[in-house]
Amino acid sequence: MALPKAASLTDALTLGASSMVSPDEFAEVRQAFEHELRRTTRSLPTGERIRVDGYSLRNAMSGGAGHGGAFRWTPWTARRPIGIECVRASLANPRLTPLQASHDVITRLVRQADEQRGRPGSLSEWLAGLAVGGRTVVQAEAVVWATQLTTALDWTRLSRPIVGDDRSVVLPSSSQVLLRGRIELRTFATPARVQGTNPRRRLESEPSVLFATMTGRPSPTARTELGLAALTVALGDRHGEVPVRVLGWWPQCGRALVVPVDLTLLNQTCEAVVGTVRSMCPTIPQKSRPSRATGERTGRHTGKTSLPQAVGEVDRIAS
């Protein structure tokens, strides 16, 4: 069950390579990034948190304000979390199709709400409140999403795939910024030939690679959005291991973008994140020399959340 493009996409994703950024090099990137973030968020009122994800990054970089409304569940925001569960279920049981899996996932979520285990505003609560007609739209959207991901790759060739490996990162030095990386799949590049049978050595020779499903068609900011996924994985790794590449996949148009993760990408992504954060912070007179990303664009405060809501959902990173 694979698209004609699946073989070449899988090749492009898993092609053997060694990491282009060493942990030491990344430590320097990280240090500079944290310093810049700390400086940028000084004007942010205590208790407010800025969330930077692919969406806010795109809006800030393209000068758009986005719709800026509060998040709400719709069939289009719900299809991904349900779709990810479907793909996981299909991988665990290859006889299970996305349509069957979606039924199971939605039934489980609704039962969760019925047993009053769903948080107010949660996906399960929202689903339980929908009539059959509305719930079916959600299921149908999830089926499309899951089928697109399932058929995009040759899963038999993936090494230890992790589906839905999203990352939320709060840096201790800039705890008012939450970085969110959306990652549909994390797997490992084909290992280079390694002498000996030491399993630790073998694992070290398998740098991780990321696969992200995107919406619509590639935009000029796509490379940086994919860079954010790589950045969050690297920031969240205890050893500062950096993924070797990110592959963005636009199923609606059948396009893919393979982005090698090198120092240039990481630096550009860090600058874009700082620029996005700056566009969301209250303006204060800048005395020091602005960074390259400084003040390029302004946007609305679309990514702010208050601290208490976000705490508990994020991985705090040891510095």
Partner 1 sequence: MANQSLTEAPERPSTGPVAPVGADLLASLRGDSSRRPLVDPGLAGGLRDWLEDGLCSLPLGVQTPILVNKQTLRDALAGRTNQPRVERSITDSVALGALMDALFRQFVTIGHIEDPMRNGLDALRVDPRRSEVIDFVRGLEPQERADFEDELETQSAILVSRWPRLSPSWLPRTQERITVPLAGGDVVLVGNIDLIVGAPSAGHASVGLIEVKSGRARIEDRDDLRFYALLETLRSGAAPFRVATFYTRTGLIETEDVDDGLLTSSVQRVLMGINRMVAPA
Distance (Å, whole) CA 243 – CA 201:
17
Q: Are 239 and 212 in contact (CB under 8 A)?
A: no
Q: Are 105 and 86 in contact (CB under 8 A)?
A: yes
Q: Is residue 196 helix, strand or coil?
A: coil
Distances in Å between the Cα of 41 and the Cα atoms of 14, 177, 190, 301 are: 38, 8, 40, 13
Distance of closest approach, residue 125 Cβ to partner 1, in angstroms: 15
Nearest alpha-carbon partner for 212 in 188, 194, 230: 230
Distance of closest approach, residue 127 Cβ to partner 1, in angstroms: 11
Interaction of residue 124 with partner 1, rule CB under 8 A = no
C-alpha atoms less than 13 angstroms from C-alpha of 153 in its C-beta half-sphere: 30
Binds partner 1 (CB under 8 A): choice among 23, 66, 75, 191? 75
Interaction of residue 91 with partner 1, rule CB under 8 A = no
| First vs last C-alpha separation in the chain | 44
Interaction of residue 31 with partner 1, rule CB under 8 A = no
Contact letters (x/-) for partner 1, 146-185, by CB under 8 A?
-x---x----------------------------------
Distance (Å, whole) CA 58 – CA 52:
10
Distance of closest approach, residue 256 Cβ to partner 1, in angstroms: 11
Interaction of residue 140 with partner 1, rule CB under 8 A = yes
Extract the tokens encoding 15. 């092609």
Binds partner 1 (CB under 8 A): choice among 64, 68, 134, 290? 134
Instruction: Output 106 or 270, the one with its CB closest to partner 1.
Output: 106
Binds partner 1 (CB under 8 A): choice among 54, 83, 98, 303? 98
Extract the tokens encoding 260. 């090698």
Question: Segment contacting partner 1 (CB under 8 A): 212-220, 225-233, 271-279, 309-317?
Answer: 212-220
**Residue numbers of the site for partner 1 (CB under 8 A)?**
1-7, 74-75, 97-100, 103, 130-134, 136-140, 143-144, 147, 151, 216-218, 252-255
